[in-house]
Amino acid sequence: MTELIARVQGHCDDRFAAVRAAFERNFHDGHELGAAVSVRVEGRTVVDLWGGWADGARTRAWERDTLVNVWSTTKGATALCAHLLLDRGLLDLDAPVAAYWPEFAAAGKESVTVRQLLTHRAGLAGLREPHSLGQVYDWELTTSRLAATEPWWEPGTRSGYHAMTYGFLVGEVVRRITGLRPGAFLRQEVTGPLGLDFSIGLPETEAHRAAEVIQPPVEVTPELAAQYAQFTPVALAALGNPGMSGADANTPAWRAAEIPAANGHATARGVAALYGIFAGGGRLDGRRVFSAGTAELIREGQGSCRDLVLGPGFGHDTEAGLGLWLSGPHAMYGPNPRAFGHDGFGGSFGLADPEASLGVGYVMNLMGPHIADDPRKAALLDAVYSTL
């Protein structure tokens, strides 16, 4: 066994030995630097493993409480905030966004609904004007520009992945209702009371726990070049405005900002528990977060289609629920087509499967080239489901 495999630590029930083997194999095959995986079944943690290195120089071991930026896996936490307000009767899915955020009615968006924001169907996958990463850190500027812009397509007719804008759109609705941005609302209502290691942004006091994100150079193969050639202006706006790299996630400015679509920081344990709220019918560790009906609602499908942003990469149709993606016929989140979850750029993911009472979280710091469906995810999920 290599040194990296020997550094895998934590707990794994004997029944889930296949998960440990798959996790270790990812290290052995050179696909990991540092990573963690956590699996909850019927409310109990059956796998909680971590290993490798928290920095590219391999001077800091990945520890039990190491945090890392999880990119779009953050969207599950932001969706949870919206569903908590829905459960309390403070948010109506089919109300116009402008009922909560009046300025949003500009540029023909007066009929865009909250449902369309949650399902990537609002036509606001990216800003039309150049928007730098430094400007992304400015909440008021970013939300005001989104309120003023016009949709790329007729809202409600198609999905187009709102890679960065999703968090500001849903997050501003949360702020208009509660007076709190989603990071503070999540901490006050969910992660604080439940003790979950998941935050939107990262307090400076926790920076010592953060792993360094490493993004290797991407080899542009003919297949990848063919995908790039299919990118439309809306896809380029969603994925490239602003341009950024994995290294940006290591900066104090990124960590200090609130980007509710992309800068969640978590342990795998925190991801599994947060997504486990959905898998557990709105309950976690015996505590009710929201009703079972609300928990079920998040996976209400909005119609399968070729996503305007993700389509070139996936090559198949996808279907969004009310904030997360359905596993569907392509088994994006395991064999249950009604399971759901979200991937993070480079590899992380969270999964909820209510039928199996299953919540899974996986985080890592060596980014792969995939927006979603990283091979490490597939290996771990195959192992998890082989034991159920």
For position 188, what pLDDT does the model report? 98
Q: Could you give the CA distance from residue 372 to residue 4 in angstroms, rounded to a whole number?
A: 25
- Which pTM value belongs to this model? 0.96
The DSSP call for residue 301 is -
Q: What is the pLDDT of residue 2?
A: 41
Q: What is the mean pLDDT of residues 205-232?
A: 82
| 44-52 and 198-200 strand pairing | unpaired
Q: 224 falls in which pLDDT band (50, 70, 90)?
A: low
- Going by pLDDT thresholds of 50, 70 and 90, the confidence category of residue 219 is confident
Catalytic position from the list 72, 199, 327, 348: 72
**Distance in angstroms (rounded) separating the CA atoms of residues 61 and 282:** 35
Q: Does residue 137 surpass a pLDDT of 80?
A: yes
pLDDT for 157-193, tens place per residue?
999 999 999 999 999 999 999 999 999 999 999 999 9
What interhelical angle do 165-178 and 75-87 show, nearest 10?
30
pLDDT of residue 292: 97
Q: Look at residue 76 in the predicted model and tell me its pLDDT.
A: 98
Q: Quick: pLDDT tens for 111-134.
A: 999 999 999 999 999 999 999 999
Q: Cβ(51)–Cβ(8) under 8 Å?
A: yes
Burial environment of residue 236 by CB neighbours within 10 A (0 to 12, 13 to 18, 19 or more) = middle
For this structure, is 72 an active site residue?
yes
Structural domains of the chain sorted by starting position, each given as residue range(s) with its CATH number in brackets: 67-80+182-372 (3.40.710.10)
**pLDDT, tens digit, for every residue of 35-83?**
999 999 999 999 999 999 999 999 999 999 999 999 999 999 999 999 9
Taking only the tens place, the pLDDT of each residue in 11-34 is: 999 999 999 999 999 999 999 999
Residue 103 binned pLDDT confidence (cut-offs 50, 70, 90): very high
The rounded distance, in Å, linking the Cα atoms of 366 and 268 is: 15
Integer Rg of the chain from CA: 19
> How far apart, in whole angstroms, are the C-alpha atoms of residue 359 and residue 160?
26
Mean pLDDT throughout 268-295? 97
